[in-house]
Structure 1
Amino acid sequence: MYKLDAAITGWINSLSGNSLLDHALITISNLGVPLLILAVAAQWWTGPERTKTRHILIAAGLTFLIGLGINQVILLFDQRIRPYDAGVTRLLIERSSDPSFPSDHATATFAIAAAFLIHNLPKRGLFFLVAAILVSLSRVYLGTHYISDVMGGALTAIFAAALVKALYKPATGVDRFLTSIL
């Protein structure tokens, strides 16, 4: 499996070298997560079904945090080296100090998408899904992650979304309190 993972990762990274595309994907990688967080937060005051929307926004935030927390647990057991350290890719951005698997960028962005999709907001969920794919692929393109790292991050996010969906129910006392803020 590693050979296939390295081959796909190397192929995606080999597409780099076009200064315009490189710059665009560096920008997507750097700004993708903060912009998606802003896009989620900005919805707090919009929409006709404000309570339902706010529940989903809180669920997205919880999914984001739980997904990243799960990643930290995984890192206790798996210290995968980065593809640029293994000679698979050429790095286009600064080196990272943490292990490669799973990708926090992928987890963060797919967590938002998964939360919207699992809570039945398909149009918004699809927007966030496209953004998550772009951010995740940018990480492979830039040489900082294997393709399996971003797939692992996506799976962590999906698991976290399912966990939040099962545990954080609408119209509970906690939900009524949180959705009534501001």
Structure 2
Amino acid sequence: MSNLYPLDVLFTQAINGLAGHVALLDVLMIWTSKIGVPVLVLTVAAQWWRRADRFHMRHVLVVSGLSFLLGLGLNQLILLLVNRVRPYDVGVSHLLIGPSADPSFPSDHATATIAIAAAFFVHRAWRPAAGYFAAALLIMLSRVYIGTHYVSDVLGGALTGAAAAVLVRNLYREGTLADRFLTRLL
């Protein structure tokens, strides 16, 4: 265990310790955790038909999808190297939902949501980026609140998502033949 583990446990328990005291907050956090990622993906997809700056925005949408997929793919590689036990399995947190079968680090929810937000950010789509970052932070908080992740799990996932967005930004360029083909669909 690292020297930071006690600090990780402290922050995780501080957030998860709020669970179980206010039923409405519990329901909101469970709901956010369960449907937050699909809702974000739907809001991204819905922008495909946006009229303002159509082809640039479509490029950003393609990049956000690629970042999402690459981030989750990177997580699968990390899971081969890191097999971290969930905090509820070692008595660090109280679980509000059913247990998960996969390891705790990194958080797929954090990776997916930050990949989307970071893709918008690195393409200077400031307003949607701000909204997606706010939603990502709420989803990340919900994962710790409901007891399924340590704080470092969501921070690690956020780092993976941001790295994926930067990598895709550098590899998939706007205006290329592939980009023009994809952004002109529908």
Calculate the TM-score normalised by the size of structure 1.
Answer: 0.99
* 1:167 CA displacement: 0.4
Asked if 1:165 is matched to 2:169, the reply is yes
Q: Which amino acid aligns with 2:78?
A: I
Give a deviation string over 1:110-138, Cα, whole Å, max 9, x none. 11100000110011000000000000100
Asked if 1:5 is matched to 2:22, the reply is no
Aligned match of 2:29: 25
1:1-182 alignment, distance < 5 Å: 1-17=4-20, 18-182=22-186
Aligned residue for 2:88, secondary structure, equals coil
* 1:163 CA displacement: 0.3
Give a deviation string over 1:25-44, Cα, whole Å, max 9, x none. 00000110000000000000
Q: Which amino acid aligns with 1:170?
A: E
Q: How many residues end up aligned between the 2 structures? A: 182
Distance across 1 between alignment mates of 2:96 and 2:161: 26
* 1:13 CA displacement: 0.3
Aligned residue for 1:96, secondary structure, equals coil
Distance across 2 between alignment mates of 1:11 and 1:150: 15
* 1:23 CA displacement: 0.2
Aligned residue for 1:98, secondary structure, equals coil
Aligned residue for 1:178, secondary structure, equals helix
Distance across 1 between alignment mates of 2:162 and 2:114: 7
Distance across 1 between alignment mates of 2:76 and 2:52: 37
* 1:81 CA displacement: 0.2
Q: Which amino acid aligns with 1:104?
A: D
Distance across 2 between alignment mates of 1:95 and 1:108: 20
* 1:168 CA displacement: 0.4
Unmatched tracts of structure 2, length 5 or more: none
The runs of 4+ residues in structure 1 deviating greater than 2 Å are none
* 1:48 CA displacement: 1.5
* 1:67 CA displacement: 0.2
* 1:86 CA displacement: 1.2
Distance across 1 between alignment mates of 2:105 and 2:141: 14
Calculate the TM-score normalised by the size of structure 2.
Answer: 0.97
* 1:47 CA displacement: 3.0
Aligned residue for 1:85, secondary structure, equals helix
